[in-house]
Structure formats: C-alpha cells, structure tokens
Amino acid sequence: MKMRSILLAVLLIGGFVYLTNSRWPALNFGSPPKVTTAAETARSASLTPEENSNIAIYRAASPATVFITSTVFRRDWFYQVFPVENSGSGFVIDDSGRILTNNHVVSGRAPTIEVTLEDKSNYRAQVLERDAQNDLALIKIEPRKKLPFLKLADSDAIQVGQKVLAIGNPFGLAGTLTTGIISSLGRTIRGEDGRQIEDMIQTDAAINPGNSGGPLLNSGGDVVGINTAILGPGGNIGIGFAVPINRAKGMLLGPSRPRLGVTTLFVPEQVAPEFGLPSRSGLLIQEVESGSAADRGGLRAGNREVMAGNIPVIIGGDFIVEVDGQAITSSTTLSRAIQRKRGGEAVRLAVARGRRIVEVTVTVGGPPRP
C-alpha cells in the first residue's frame, strides 16, 4: 500500500513537470519573463516598400554624385586680380570619369575645376563639351580607381505625378537626398545668364543652391534630368527645375555628333522689330565658334552690344528664321533639328541678313578642333 502511494506521487509529479515544459510553456516558472526594450522595438519595426526603395536608390546613386568647384580670375575696376568661385554638383556617367553638370557651375574662361568624390578624394577636371543654350556641360577627370556611375533613362517617357529623387550638395551639405514628384513638363525658365531654357521638368523635390548639376532620378534609380534651378531668391519653395536628360545625350557622342557651333538668343515676333529685325520669331546669332560648321558655312555673329532690360544682347548678326523649311518658334527648334541629323549631313537655314532673307546650307559636324 505504501509502495503504491509512492509510485502514484512520482507519476503525478512527473506529469506536472512534462505538461508545464511542453504544452503550456507559459507556466514554466523556472524561466524569468523576457523584457523587450524600446530600442529593440524600434530596430525591429519594418520599413515601408517606398522607404526601402529610397534607401536603395540613395545607396546606389550617392557614390556617383560629386561636388564641383570652379574658380576663375577676374579684374576689378582697379585692375586687381581676384578669384570668383562657383560650386555645384555633378554625376559620373561612365567608368572613364566623364561627369555631367550645369554649364553655369563650370562657367568662365579657362576655369580651374575641382571635383570631390564621396570618399573626399579630389581631382582636377577638364571641360569636354559645353551647351550654354541648355545650361549643360560635360567634364572629365582621370580616376585613380574604378568609379560607380549612373544610368541614363529616357526622359521623353516621364509623366506628371511620377516619383523622383534629387541628390546633390545644397549649401555644401554633401550627399543630400530629397524626394518628390514631377509637377509639370515643358516649362520655360530663364537661366542665370539670361537665356531662356525651354521644355524643363518642374518638380517639388527640394532643390537648393548647390544642387545645380546633380541628378534627378526615377524610382528605378536612373537619371531623368539634371537639377538646374529654383524659383525664388536664395532657397527652395517647392518649385524646382531640371533639364531633361535626353537633351544631354547628344553631348556624349563626342566628335561624331552633329553640331552647328553657334550661340543664339531667341527673339519673339513682337520683340524682333525693336532690334531692327523682321517681324518674325527667330534666333539671333550672338557668337560663332571659330572653325565650327557654322563658321565654315558663313554664318555671321553680331558686332554691337545693347541692353534689353538688364540682359546684354549682341545685334548685327544673322537672324535664323527657318530650319529645313520649319519656322523657328522656340529656342529649341534649331537644336532639335540638328539632333536629328548625322555628322556630315546638311541643314538648310533661312536667315535674315540685313534687309534680305538668304538661304544658307551648312554641313553639320563635331566640335571645332583646338
């Protein structure tokens, strides 16, 4: 009887231990309760798909975004030489060290251009190409290591409302990311040198001084535009502008790309008579590059400077009113016609020269030889 009582007690104790350690672990009084701290809770919180996308794009694109400073030397009223420095952003487009930026970031005669990469390494850069009409420049460094670079998207396919991200160095704060959407397309703005730039991308992604020349990216991390300007003095108010990247692609073809070699100013029909021009809209030639296709074709630049408001205008040169039979209706009519050509093909221009309209045929080619 005593032995049966002992066996029963052993079975009851064993069953209790088994049940409390297997089926109901919460009843295991031998283990202290686990305490979760606020920091652990924060670390374990999941990110949204959009946040993960932003992080991935930034990590991929930031190392290819660079800080650019350019210095030119000028003389004051007393003929004392003093340096003038511009700064902005740019982005690497291939592993050979080519970088796209805004022309106004590296403007001036024979500027000294310095490029700083994300790892703080510095390089001297040279200007390969300029497109002052669209405020674009292509510069190059000689990299000492393999460089990350960005892919270029098709900016003709972008739509109002799609997400975009801007990376740059606003106010010298390197590697800054802002996000937004494409607010509008086809905007016309006035650049820093007074030229009108047409067909711009408008975005509410914050763009501030120092962002100029940096990439505007789509949700795939590819470049759709080059951040160029803000509306309003000094800082961002939610309206920024970027040059569509397709406009820069022609610069990447090098000597084989069709190129006229003129700097022009678009003059609307209602304003043309004030400059002694016929009542037609057109492009007034300000400068003809020596040795260029325009120079070889006999196009003429102006020879006298006047002020139109606060903008200097050189008059007396050829006034282009048609290209291949198409009327000049905007500042981009000519450049778009040239971009459709191949190097060595001819373009027909109707030009107001003095009191006559003459036709000039120019064989377009690459940039002039140094």
Active site residues: 104, 135, 212
Q: Looking at the chain, which runs of residues are DSSP E strands?
A: 65-75, 81-92, 98-101, 112-116, 122-131, 136-140, 163-168, 176-190, 196-203, 215-217, 223-230, 240-244, 262-267, 282-288, 304-308, 311-315, 319-323, 326-327, 346-353, 356-363
Name the DSSP letter for residue 276: T
d(CA 349, CA 335): 12
Classify 148 as helix, strand or coil: coil
* Per-residue CA distances from 367 to 79, 127, 257, 264, 301 (Å): 34, 13, 8, 16, 17
d(CA 253, CA 48): 40
d(CA 221, CA 219): 5
d(CA 343, CA 257): 6
Map 168-214 to HEC letters.
Answer: ECHHHCCCEEEEEEEEEEEEEEECCCCCEEEEEEEECCCCCCCCCCC
